[in-house]
Structure 1
Amino acid sequence: MNTLLDPAILFFVFGVAAGIFKSNLEIPRSIAKFLSLYLLMALGLKGGFALAKSGMDTSVAISLGAALAMAFLVPTLGYALLKNRIARFDAAAVAAAYGSVSAVTFVTAIQLLEAGGLNFGGHMTVAMVIMESPAIIMAVLLANANRQRLAQQGQGSAGGFSLRKILHESFTDGAHLLLIGSMIIGYVSGEAGKTMMQPFAGDLFKGLLAFFLLDMGLMVARNFAEARKTSGFLLLYAAVGPWVHASIALSLAVVLKMPVADAAMLMVLSASASYIVVPAVLRYAIPEANPSLYFGLSLGITFPMNILLGIPTYIHAAKWALG
């Protein structure tokens, strides 16, 4: 499929190859952090502009509510399943990656829907952005709670467990706050803001995304040896989990009587895993987690599986259940 020849994805592959061959190619950390923050700002703006254009009505509210529910449910299930099988910091990060979404998977699904004559609501683009946040919040909450737990066991000097402190740290984390703030700014500024920000948030996006994925490819290669030591359970989770998540999303869509195309998009979003926003946040918010796990599983297994098999199946299932 042409998506697999996307230059940004190929730069990731190139980064992995460079890392495997132990090249001295390296993206300076200050530039890598800028790229992460840029991507968060651009995605937030895109969501805000889309929400300002679509407006709100009952059907939109129902679809966004379903997306928000899945955004909390998927990472909750993932963490509950993984926390006793791998390190808890890694469990929180992997759960966040699978609770969040893949923009490239989303765009591919749009193309397939349009080719099949199905028109989805424009608000589902907003759903994509909304579904980025809850999993990140939960991951940072869980990581902070784990740090407090370790401190109480004598592995640190932190004080007692403080929910207020954890909530404050989680909701004011700089990278995640930038995503939310950018979305609000995009909504308030609307179409005029979109026109003004197009050179920054639109024209530059693809190139800087490629640069970001090059850096992530290098990171995955550097952590590959450690990732190979993990059990096959994580590989099974990466391959089977998305189908379970999509099935739950379809059940919810049937109960809410969502339109076929919107239901298909909800399934796609629920089954996808983030390799942009979540790595951008977690590499700084949860440095204890291994990037080769949450990034490698989502992009190396779940992404191609969804592109080749998942999306057509999700669309067919939505037609069968709601058509």
Structure 2
Amino acid sequence: MSNLLDPAILFFVFGVLAGTVKSNLEIPPQISRFLSLYLLMALGLKGGFSLAESGLTAEVAITLGLAVLLAVLIPAISYQLLKQRLGGFDAAAIAATYGSVSAVTFITTVQYLESHATAFGGHMAAAMALMESPAIIMAVLFANTLRQTSAASVSCGGTLALAGTPLRAGKILHESFTDGAQLLLLGAMAIGMVTGEAGKAVMAPFSTDLFKGMLAFFLLDMGLMAARNLGGLQGKPLWLLAYAVLAPLAHAALALALAWAAEVSPGNGALLMVLAASASYIAVPAVLRHAIPEAQPALYFGMSLGITFPFNIVVGIPLYVGIAQRVLG
């Protein structure tokens, strides 16, 4: 309940309500883009300052290793489950969406942990960066395999009509790691590590004092977008809509089990759970529109932004943090 009384979360709820009643309230795309870049830059700086203070420890290496493991396991398992009830391309797209991460969900959780005086490591921002691309690469490989199988079965006289062209995983990986937002996050983290305590003091008005207000403004925009994307899910099977809630819970449980086995701290474990439970609605859809045009954008984008994102913001974050503190504390 305390999460709902947070001003940033209330602005998200307000945005959902405004979008539901079809208000003409909107955040200009350029402003929205600036807000997302600001949040990533501030997050990177905070992570870098924290790493400069703590240094590279064994827990840092273990946590980053768990993050990569989750980034591979989740899309692999999801694809195997989904392709039994969906077309292969839709299964690959949804697996990529839920195997990748939501930066805004992560940033909101960081703010939640800070407001509740729960310690966590600055390296978790690096964990978020590492978890973004593996699911995309795997989905492209799944789609290429499907196209090759289809080509072998329908080839006639050397002529083929394929909906999509196989793409090299290396190209997608390069685009993922050189994306401006991703690069800004990693660059800001490096700058924070180099400048340390002196940089933290100088940048505090930018990276700390403004953070809460900027997050509230951005969540207002996300609420508007979430409401406007719910329409794309009309007529979809109920089991698929349930998946948008149950899959994050299952992925968070997997992350919790790994964090418990590795004796990860409660704060870092909570962030691992949030990363595993989140679903991408920016980076992955942007890539999939070109990499897997056979999949339905309204399906994977509507599920992630229309259902999973609001669920995680309003219910998931306090749930994951509370469970992590109880199990890992």
- Provide the TM-score with structure 1 as the length reference: 0.77
Aligned to 2:205: 199
1:80-136 deviation per Cα after TM superposition (whole angstroms, max 9, x unaligned): 44466373444422332479963434554677786xxxxx5x42x422x12322332
- RMSD across aligned positions (CA): 3.5
Distance in 1 (CA, whole Å) between partners of 2:258 and 2:33 is 37
For the 8 Å contact 1:171–1:177, the answer to whether it is kept is yes
Aligned to 2:156: none
Go from structure 1 to structure 2 and tell me whether the alpha carbon gap of 1:212 and 1:259 turns closer, same or farther (over 3 Å shift): closer
The more displaced of 21-30 and 98-107 is 98-107
Structure 2 residue matching 1:22: 3-state secondary structure: coil
Aligned to 2:33: 33
Amino acid at match of 1:183: M
Distance in 2 (CA, whole Å) between partners of 1:164 and 1:143 is 13
Match of 1:137 among 115, 133, 137: 133
User: Offset at 1:55?
Assistant: 0.8
1:20-66 deviation per Cα after TM superposition (whole angstroms, max 9, x unaligned): 22221121111111112112211111111111111123344334433
For the 8 Å contact 2:227–2:306, the answer to whether it is kept is no
Amino acid at match of 1:126: H
1:300 aligns with 2:310: yes
For the 8 Å contact 1:12–1:217, the answer to whether it is kept is yes
Go from structure 1 to structure 2 and tell me whether the alpha carbon gap of 1:147 and 1:173 turns closer, same or farther (over 3 Å shift): farther
* Unaligned segments of structure 1, at least 5 residues: 115-119
Q: What is the number of residues matched between the two proteins? A: 305
For the 8 Å contact 1:45–1:201, the answer to whether it is kept is yes
Aligned to 2:155: none
Match of 2:270 among 261, 265, 271: 265
Aligned to 1:95: 99
Aligned to 2:326: 316
Go from structure 1 to structure 2 and tell me whether the alpha carbon gap of 1:261 and 1:23 turns closer, same or farther (over 3 Å shift): closer
1:24 aligns with 2:21: no
Distance in 1 (CA, whole Å) between partners of 2:27 and 2:267 is 39
Distance in 1 (CA, whole Å) between partners of 2:74 and 2:170 is 24
* Unaligned segments of structure 2, at least 5 residues: 149-159, 291-296
Structure 1 residue matching 2:100: 3-state secondary structure: helix
Q: How does 1:102-117 map to 2 (within 5 A)?
A: 102-106=106-110, 108=112
1:138-189 deviation per Cα after TM superposition (whole angstroms, max 9, x unaligned): 3543566688788985446x6x533332222222122222222222222122
Go from structure 1 to structure 2 and tell me whether the alpha carbon gap of 1:260 and 1:54 turns closer, same or farther (over 3 Å shift): closer
Distance in 1 (CA, whole Å) between partners of 2:81 and 2:102 is 12
Amino acid at match of 1:5: L
Aligned to 1:85: 86
Amino acid at match of 1:92: A
- Provide the TM-score with structure 2 as the length reference: 0.75
The more displaced of 296-305 and 27-36 is 296-305
Go from structure 1 to structure 2 and tell me whether the alpha carbon gap of 1:2 and 1:97 turns closer, same or farther (over 3 Å shift): same
Aligned to 2:225: 219
Go from structure 1 to structure 2 and tell me whether the alpha carbon gap of 1:150 and 1:218 turns closer, same or farther (over 3 Å shift): farther
Distance in 2 (CA, whole Å) between partners of 1:213 and 1:36 is 10
1:229 aligns with 2:235: yes
1:12 aligns with 2:12: yes
Go from structure 1 to structure 2 and tell me whether the alpha carbon gap of 1:46 and 1:82 turns closer, same or farther (over 3 Å shift): farther
Distance in 1 (CA, whole Å) between partners of 2:107 and 2:309 is 12
The more displaced of 262-271 and 167-176 is 262-271
Distance in 2 (CA, whole Å) between partners of 1:210 and 1:178 is 21
Aligned to 2:52: 52
Go from structure 1 to structure 2 and tell me whether the alpha carbon gap of 1:107 and 1:204 turns closer, same or farther (over 3 Å shift): closer
Structure 1 residue matching 2:3: 3-state secondary structure: helix
Structure 2 residue matching 1:4: 3-state secondary structure: coil
Amino acid at match of 2:123: V
Aligned to 2:73: 73
Go from structure 1 to structure 2 and tell me whether the alpha carbon gap of 1:266 and 1:283 turns closer, same or farther (over 3 Å shift): closer
Amino acid at match of 1:207: G
User: Offset at 1:279?
Assistant: 4.2
Aligned to 1:241: 247
Structure 2 residue matching 1:175: 3-state secondary structure: helix
For the 8 Å contact 1:105–1:268, the answer to whether it is kept is no
Distance in 2 (CA, whole Å) between partners of 1:94 and 1:294 is 8
Aligned to 1:117: none
1:180 aligns with 2:179: no
Go from structure 1 to structure 2 and tell me whether the alpha carbon gap of 1:15 and 1:134 turns closer, same or farther (over 3 Å shift): same
Amino acid at match of 1:231: P
For the 8 Å contact 1:264–1:314, the answer to whether it is kept is yes
1:56-79 deviation per Cα after TM superposition (whole angstroms, max 9, x unaligned): 233443344334433443344345
- Identical aligned pairs, as a percentage? 41
Distance in 1 (CA, whole Å) between partners of 2:46 and 2:53 is 11
